[in-house]
Structure 1
Amino acid sequence: MVETSGTSGGRVLTVGVVIARTGRLARLGDPLTFVMQLLEPKLRRLVNGERGYEVRLVSRDSRSTAEGARQAVRELVGAEGAGIVLTLAGTEVLPAVADACEEASVPCVSSTFPWQVYYYGRGASADRPFRWTYHFCWGLDDIAETFADLWDMVGGSGRAVGCLWNDGPQGDWSRHAGLGFLPAARARGHRLVDPAGYREPAAGFGGHFAAFRDQEVDVVTSAATGRDLALFRRQAMELGALPRLITCSRWLAYPPVPSAGEEPAQANVATLVYWTPNHPYRSSVDGMSAARLAEAYEQKTGRQWLQPLGLAYALFEVAAHALATAAEPADPASVAAALARTRLETIAGPLDWTSGPVPNVAAVRLAAGQWQPGRRHAYELAVVHSRQEEQLPVDAELLPLG
């Protein structure tokens, strides 16, 4: 951690934040931007034991690219003196931030990326963990368990489930024989029908429809983009082959945006629920409730609350906790050690880096939801099943897709 003198002569600790402000992931940067602005005045001073520190929050734009993310880390560490870096989301961007921090020997905390992809995808193993980079999220197996609960709800176990998976990282990790979604789903007794992965953006799904028809598939699971999911639904309607249920784990954290004369791709699609205004957790920084955070976002922006808000807020909670408990908050190795022993109740729920599932990773609980027509907004994320997150109330029944 780089420690400098502030205007009052005090010691200053700098927290760097990599945010997608421009490019294709700019919308994913909104929660982190909002939370940073909200927390900045609350985190200006930090106490570690008997020592007081001023805290600076400084951000850089990843430009939604891996190289932009690496450049952002270089600027935050080299020019701004950041001693801990935070980031959120992006299949290529998040690993690039973490790798750049690992190379720079600077602690990093990240979220909203399945932990197996974060951990094994970046080259770690059980006997060779990362030294500087820490993460909290759910796993691919957690996604499979959550979706299998929904598949069971529409017809019981042992059914054929069609896989709408691409030929890129999302599809490859979903079908991984040992670490991914596939073994967890099979362990629940389901038979997965996985035609050849499609190239994004998809031109059509004729091969998938043929395979699904032959195997009598009426439930589909997906990691498709919103564009490809919309194309699949449109072609399914034209063929009279709309499944009873679609579960999708990608891009579904963000509310559907209706367009004139066309139903949104996400409408009545089931997905993951990792944070809502109804989650019964509060911030360790200021006692902010999940409900109040969602309300603050809607009042400030005029837009519907977003699931990543809770995880974005928790990033800063974890950073503040590590700096406040590190033996020497100006020393990167000391801050990394504090992260490794962190057990913290956050606005996103309890996070515990001392219990795995692997070193450097804390687990986030999942529930199951569905984008249904709402009262306050065109579509709202209804919680339809919460076996893994028992404190979260179920507030709707699972609806058929059509």
Structure 2
Amino acid sequence: MGGPREKDGPRTGAGGPRDGKELCVGAVVPLTGRLGSLGHPLAFVLEHLAPRLTRLTHDGRAYPLRLAVRDSRSEPGRARRAVAELVARDGARIVVTMAGTQVLPAVATACRDIGVPCLSTTFPWQAYVLTQGGDRGRAPGWTYHFAWGLDDIADVFADMWEHAGTARTVGCLWNDGRQGRLLRHPRHGFAPAAHARGHTLVDPGGYAEPGGGFAEHVRRFHEAGTDIVTSAATGADLTLFLRQAHTAGLRPRLVTCSRWLAYPPDTRRAATAPRAVPPAPHSGPPSPSGPSEQVATLVYWTPRHPYRSSLDGSTAAQLADAYRSATGRAWLQPLGLAHALLEVATHALGTAADPTDRRAVAEALGRTKLSTVAGDLDFTTGPAPGIALLPLAGGQWQPTEHGHRLAVVSNNRLPQIPLDGDLFLTD
């Protein structure tokens, strides 16, 4: 399964985008470039659902429906152009996107500027709101997003830290960019959740990406007696830090990391900027010489999530099986969220006062309450306008003879997802 190809122009003829009768859902996907592997889940879902999403009935009237795909090429500038093309050439009534800390906000901002509703996911909501320039309260809103918060990540990570005991001293490996600033946010970042549970954070300050060395972080963590490290580093930077830490005799009992870790180690390694540092053998529990060990992460979707598609009632397990059958690969967490993007987008078209009016579609998004294969989404009660929350569990990549599996090791906030592994800690 090669995934959808970029569509360079509109379909012509009866029901085409220029006659106001056809409904088009546009998708901006990183099909190529450094984020290409991260765009694969949405590319698969678009191809998987395209044969089913050919018609939409609204108030007794049937509209032709199609999906149009544009490649962001993993670049913010190209992503903005992709939005413009989807609207001008394909007549998109709504645009969906996911993946990329720079590309995703570029898509949302372009949609807002043009006046087309945007739906996105896989980005902590506080970071997302910040990228929208603080004017999200104006009506109608154009940009909508479902995910979790930085504070939610902090709580799930703290659940796992406490496997090592209460009141831990935790070293913070955070960059000096937007991501690091958000993690340090006095209200939404990690400190409130960590301090409320008795943990002490040791933050030596940010580092520029890609990291050139972490000697000061290692020294400060050593001096503070940290036995846990939390991070949002790239795979390459985390590998470099852990190698330098091990050389200096610092061996954390547990590392928690949110960035890239939702994807399997091989996928995440491919999406990280090239470095002159050999890749780690794995990012799960250790082999005797593996430096990138005992790394835990967040879990937002698995085939065992007890939810069904609002489109056809298919289960999370069936979606994972379809992906495996088509690609020969194991399931990926973003699959569920990618599928939910299309569920919510078509729901908004189907419930808008006028599905051909982009403003009406945007207003329908703001009213949306929908059970999807990724979970129950409610855009009317989120922490900020246009935001719907998803709950998180804690997981750990654990090696098997066939690669890695993401074991659910903490489900305090998502008890309906059963545990299927024990959290590995270094003694």
Shift of 1:184: 2.2
- C-alpha distance in 2, partners of 1:268/1:317? 36
Aligned counterpart, 1:356: 382
Superposed CA deviations along residues 357-377 of structure 1, whole A, max 9, x for unmatched, are 1110000110000001236x3
Q: 2:171 matched to 1:162?
A: yes
Pair 1:233–1:68, CA change in 2 (3 A): same
Q: Secondary structure at the match of 1:120?
A: helix
Q: 2:346 matched to 1:333?
A: no
- C-alpha distance in 2, partners of 1:62/1:185? 37
Aligned counterpart, 1:385: 410
Shift of 1:263: 2.1
Aligned counterpart, 1:14: 24
- C-alpha distance in 2, partners of 1:22/1:257? 17
8 Å Cα contact 1:246-1:401 kept in structure 2: no
Q: Secondary structure at the match of 2:96?
A: strand
Pair 1:332–1:10, CA change in 2 (3 A): closer
Pair 1:395–1:54, CA change in 2 (3 A): same
- C-alpha distance in 1, partners of 2:200/2:67? 48
> Identity of paired residues, percent?
57
Aligned counterpart, 1:74: 84
Aligned counterpart, 1:263: 281
8 Å Cα contact 1:4-1:11 kept in structure 2: no
Aligned counterpart, 1:190: 199
- C-alpha distance in 1, partners of 2:162/2:139? 36
For residues 2-401 of structure 1, the aligned pairs below 5 Å read: 5-6=14-15, 11-124=21-134, 127-128=137-138, 131-156=141-166, 158-257=167-266, 262-265=280-283, 267-374=293-400, 377-401=402-426
Shift of 1:145: 0.5
- C-alpha distance in 2, partners of 1:220/1:368? 15
Shift of 1:109: 0.3
- C-alpha distance in 2, partners of 1:152/1:342? 37
8 Å Cα contact 1:15-1:57 kept in structure 2: yes
Q: Secondary structure at the match of 1:41?
A: coil
Shift of 1:128: 4.6
RMSD: 2.1
Superposed CA deviations along residues 11-55 of structure 1, whole A, max 9, x for unmatched, are 310110000011111111100000000000111111112111111
Q: Which runs of 5+ in 2 are unaligned?
A: 1-11, 270-277, 285-292
Amino acid aligned to 1:322: A
Amino acid aligned to 1:181: F
Count residues in correspondence: 397
Q: Secondary structure at the match of 2:128?
A: helix
Q: Which runs of 5+ in 1 are unaligned?
A: none
Superposed CA deviations along residues 194-229 of structure 1, whole A, max 9, x for unmatched, are 012111111111000111011100100000001011
Shift of 1:179: 2.3
Superposed CA deviations along residues 45-80 of structure 1, whole A, max 9, x for unmatched, are 111121111111001111111101101101111111
Shift of 1:261: 9.8
- C-alpha distance in 2, partners of 1:306/1:327? 35
8 Å Cα contact 1:129-1:360 kept in structure 2: no
Amino acid aligned to 1:44: T
The normalised TM-score by structure 2 is 0.89
- C-alpha distance in 2, partners of 1:322/1:129? 17
Pair 1:129–1:149, CA change in 2 (3 A): farther
Superposed CA deviations along residues 330-368 of structure 1, whole A, max 9, x for unmatched, are 011111111011000000000000111111000011000
8 Å Cα contact 1:229-1:265 kept in structure 2: no
Superposed CA deviations along residues 73-123 of structure 1, whole A, max 9, x for unmatched, are 011111111110000011000000000000011001000000001113322
